[in-house]
Amino acid sequence: MDTPSLVMSKDINSYFEGLLKKVHGLYIIQITDRDGAPVMRVSQDKNVDFTLTPSFISTFTTASDQAGKLGLGRNKTIISMYSNYQVVQMNKLPLILTFVGSENCNTGHILALEHQLDAYLEDMRLAVSES
Amino acid sequence: MEYFRPIWSCMSSLFCGCLHCNDDLTNQGYDPSERTHLLSDTVNNSPALRRTNSENISSDCQSVPKKDDQQNALCRLVQNTAINMIDVGAMDSHNLEHQECDVRIKLYSHRLQQQWSNIQSPSKRVKGILKDIPKPDVYLTLSVNPEDINQMTAAIERVHRALANIKIDHKEAIVVPFRIP
Amino acid sequence: MEQQLEKALNEINSQPDTVGCLITNRQGLCLGAAGKINPKMSGIGMALSEQACKLEPNLNPPTIVLYSGNKRCIIQKDGEITGVIYKESSSN
């Protein structure tokens, strides 16, 4: 998809790029609003044949909303395993975090990133919820 | 020890259950939020439309509370039911218009740029290995305890055996019919 | 189903100085934990062992021991699983 380039602070950007390097097999980190409009995205140079369309994200939002009604509390994370990729999505409304990695990527490590990330998401959360 | 476990699990499930109840109760609030949607929306599946619809109706509800409390209560009941119902129809997600997507991207990046322009870059951190350790020399002289290695080797072996013995105890029906009255 | 694993973990946890232990699978997801240990650290423990394996890729996975104060953390990868044990010694 042809999206306008995102301007972002060097520090935050390099932090997220560092995460890509730390987690072996992690290809993409994308932060979007609930409808899938990207706020920030970092990806490995490697040619990853996986396009994250806004509809992919908004489907997660609805699925997460519905899963929250199963009586087990609010849904926080959905992990989807595909034949070549795994997608970990976190519901941090108003933000949605999407991680795409190889199928044998360290899922536990991605999940452990959650609480480390919080401090870095504050500005983005503000930017999205201001509307 | 074995006797205590069921009691403990029972206690913990009770405790968790209570937590979930509280959670649910707070979630069931009447306040219309971005998650709010109504039964009457089966025609319009677009979340954007749904949101505006629910806002309209809820504002209607709030505007006439004095006139009819019963109506208000009914309205709340319908809304809470709608919120708590698992609506698979809503899974037909809408597609964000490409144009709107671009508009939002620009908006977000603009806002972030504004926010980040105010922030001074953080001071340079101390660099170096063991910089966060008060007395690195203490740790540098430590050697690995062979007991630890032995314990770990034995533990791994033990766990391998335990994992090999994992099997599913078939107790209940795998497919359970929904109890729809 | 997993009683055997729980029993094994509890046994490991009852050994001297041991305060917690967990087992993760190949995906860094916690299979079971006992004692004072956060199951969420399974992914990081697994990542550490994977990194350490890269030092000598042709040898067996190394045992990693991390020291901090009077506590230490032992990590060992073996095949599909990785074990993490927390130990605390009264004297250093």
pLDDT band of A79, cuts 50, 70, 90: very high
Q: Token digits for B104? A: 């939002």
Taking residues B73-79, report their average pLDDT.
Answer: 89
Inter-chain residue contact B151 with C74, CB threshold 8 Å: yes
Choose among B47, B101, B121: nearest Cβ to A11: B121
The least confident of B44-53, B136-145, C23-32, C43-52 is B44-53
pLDDT at B146 > cutoff 80: yes
pLDDT band of A62, cuts 50, 70, 90: confident
Inter-chain residue contact A68 with B20, CB threshold 8 Å: no
pLDDT of residue A39: 87
pLDDT band of A108, cuts 50, 70, 90: very high
Taking residues A39-68, report their average pLDDT.
Answer: 82
CB pairs under 8 A between A and C: 41
The least confident of A25-39, A46-60, B122-136, C70-84 is B122-136
Mean per-residue pLDDT over chain B, rounded? 66
Inter-chain residue contact C87 with B165, CB threshold 8 Å: no
Scan residues 71-110 of A and list those with Cβ closer than 8 Å to B.
71-74, 93-94
pLDDT band of C47, cuts 50, 70, 90: very high
Taking residues B85-99, report their average pLDDT.
Answer: 69
How close, in Å, is residue C63 to chain B by CA atoms? 7
DSSP type of residue C70:
T
pLDDT of residue B124: 57
Structural domain that includes position A59: 4-130
Which residues on B lie below 8 Å from C63 (Cβ)? 144, 148-149, 152
pLDDT in tens, C60-90: 999 999 888 888 899 999 988 999 999 988 7
pLDDT in tens, B153-167: 999 998 998 888 888
pLDDT band of B26, cuts 50, 70, 90: very low
Inter-chain residue contact A70 with B84, CB threshold 8 Å: no
CB-based contact, C29 to chain A, within 8 Å = yes
* Cα A9 to Cα A40: distance, rounded to the nearest angstrom: 11
Inter-chain residue contact A109 with C46, CB threshold 8 Å: yes
Which residues on C lie below 8 Å from B156 (Cβ)? 76, 78, 81, 83
CA of B48: which chain A residue's CA is closest? Answer: A35
- CA-closest candidate to residue A13, choices A37, A35, A47, A39: A39
Domains and CATH numbers, chain C: 1-88 (3.30.450.30)
pLDDT at B108 > cutoff 80: yes
A38-68 b/e (C-beta count within 10 Å ≥ 16 → b): bbbbbbbeeebeeebebebbbbbbbbbbbbb
Torsion angles phi and psi, residue B121, rounded to 5: -65, 135
Q: How many CB atoms lie within 10 A of CB A23?
A: 23
- CA-closest candidate to residue A22, choices A117, A109, A107, A118: A109
Inter-chain residue contact B166 with C4, CB threshold 8 Å: yes
CB-based contact, C28 to chain A, within 8 Å = yes
pLDDT at A3 > cutoff 50: no
Q: Looking at C3-46, which runs of residues are DSSP E strands? A: 18-24, 30-35
Q: What CATH number has the domain bearing residue A79?
A: 3.30.450.30
Inter-chain residue contact C29 with A108, CB threshold 8 Å: yes
Taking residues A94-101, report their average pLDDT.
Answer: 92
pLDDT band of A116, cuts 50, 70, 90: confident
Please tell me which residue, C29 or B53, carries the higher pLDDT value.
C29
Domain count, chain A: 1
CA of B86: which chain A residue's CA is closest? Answer: A66
Choose among B138, B152, B161: nearest Cβ to C83: B152
* Cα B67 to Cα B62: distance, rounded to the nearest angstrom: 10
